[in-house]
Amino acid sequence: MLKESDSHHIKKLYDNEQVRKYLGGTVNEESFKQRFHEMIHSPNKEHYWTIFNKSSQEFVGMVFLDTYHDGIHTEIGYQFLPQFWGRGIAREVINKVLHYGIHTMQLDKVVAETQSQNKASCKLLLSVGMRLEKKIQRFGNEQSVFAILGS
């Protein structure tokens, strides 16, 4: 679960231009504080996790399950630092979180939304068994909405 003490780790994600390329760009200090406050005080705060490398204990990124824009479904979201991209870490973490959402939380559906231009994220979501459900316009760009159904 995300804690106040995780702020400096999460800030690394929000300060990184590569991480934020398809997420609206990096944010200033005030915007970060507001977003972090929203995460810590989310009704789903227990479903925000910081991810650390098992062997080195380095901060890798974060993943969450929270209410989607439609107010109905649950969304999986994630950000990982670039030095950990391409190692299979994101796929492993997202698989485990989807399994938790579907089997432990007994969600009937989990969605993910990413910019269609973010080919790596689209490929990652397909690789964990999510299917492209639709494309929409949001935040001034085409977004791909993926979904996986519970059993």
The predicted-structure confidence for 25-84, as pLDDT tens digits, reads as follows 999 999 999 999 999 998 888 999 999 998 899 999 999 999 999 999 999 999 999 999
- Say how far apart CA 44 and CA 35 lie, in whole Å: 14
Q: How far is CA 117 from CA 19, 27, 82, 141, in A?
A: 14, 20, 17, 9
Q: How far apart are the first and last CA of the chain?
A: 26
Judge whether 22 and 121 are in contact, CB under 8 Å: yes
What contacts 24+ positions apart, CB below 8 Å, involve 17-20?
Answer: 18/82, 19/79, 19/80, 19/81, 19/82
What is this structure's pTM? 0.92
pLDDT in tens, 117-136: 999 999 999 999 999 999 99
